[in-house]
Amino acid sequence: MFIALSCIVAFLISVILVPYIRRLAIKWKFVDLPNSRKVHKEPLPLLGGMAILAGFVISSAIFSAIRHPIPSVYYGILGGTLVLYSVGMVDDFYKTRRKDFSAGIRIIAQTVAAILVIWTGGTVHTLTVPFGGGHYISLPHELAWVLTVVWIVGVINVFNFLDGLDGLAAGVGTISALTLVVFAWKTGDMQSAMWAAALAGGCVGFLRYNFYPAKIIMGDAGSTMIGFILASVATIGAFKSATIVSIIVPVLALGVPIFDAIRVVIGRLLKGQPVYKADQSHSHHRLLHAGFSQVQTVTLLYIVSLCFSLASIIVVLTH
């Protein structure tokens, strides 16, 4: 019951706050300006991620407190979320002035956020040997830290890459979060299930105003925050004691942004281009160039994401 309530409360907070946040963004001229790479042709209010943030933080805090004691890793997730959102706000502010924010500072902030999760208990401790009769390999602390940082920072960035069309990042984020809810529920991790449900609720509330034609967008602050929360929940749930099944599930749940980012990064490396260089090589841009509309493109990627998620749920329920 708490899982459903966590989702509902986050949804209500988000859907109520978005119109007020939108008005503030317009008043403060905190808007994303169009350019040759972006799909929208008119300035769009940023700060939409603030509604998702409020829904997630308030709902997850309430229901984590009810299920006392609150796990220490929750404070790591909360702290990392606030660090990332704050730096993302500065990044978005630069965009309102047509300036570029330092990629180095972004990576440092993402690494700090990941370390907060690790420091409070969210690391990959062991790898179970497939068909090994229950035997496992205990990972050295240094390797566990590196793997966890790489995973969290990687997911943060692939989700940021995904945020290019109205409703795409919020919709895929919702599907991924609900998939992690199922996995956490199946493994008895009710806290992680509530946190993922709160994120899903916040995303759906925001999606009410973000689906095409969008009235507001989440900005880099919102997309990096969603990626961070998803990666962190997967770390403390699926990856805590990693088996083949538990590794497959979150990778499939985040299949659309992960596999799209891998394809794009490989393509940029082969062309000798910087990995962080913004272009129109992502799947959603390619579909638009092929003649699909925004709604058709987003709907198709929702379907692909659902297929990945259903595959991961089947893996969970059959093992």
Show the DSSP H helices in the chain as ranges: 2-27, 49-66, 72-96, 103-119, 141-162, 168-186, 190-210, 219-236, 244-253, 255-270, 283-289, 294-317
The four Cα atoms 66, 72, 74, 80 give a dihedral, to 10 degrees, of: 150
CB of 124 closer than 8 Å to CB of 239: yes
Tokens 């602050």 correspond to: 221
- Coil, strand or helix: which one is 26? helix
CB of 168 closer than 8 Å to CB of 284: yes
In terms of DSSP bridges, do strands 241-242 and 126-128 run parallel, antiparallel, or are they unpaired?
A: parallel
Flag whether 210 is marked binding.
no
Flag whether 160 is marked binding.
yes
Cβ count within 10 A of residue 147: 17
Non-local (6+) Cβ contacts of 97 within 8 A are none
CA-closest candidate to residue 223, choices 53, 77, 73:
53
Q: Which amino acid is at 284?
A: H
Tokens 């992502």 correspond to: 282
CA-closest candidate to residue 74, choices 235, 185, 289, 207:
235
CA-closest candidate to residue 254, choices 125, 137, 158:
158
Q: State the Rg of the chain over Cα.
A: 19
Known binding residues are: 160, 220
Which residues are part of a known binding site for Mg(2+)? 160, 220
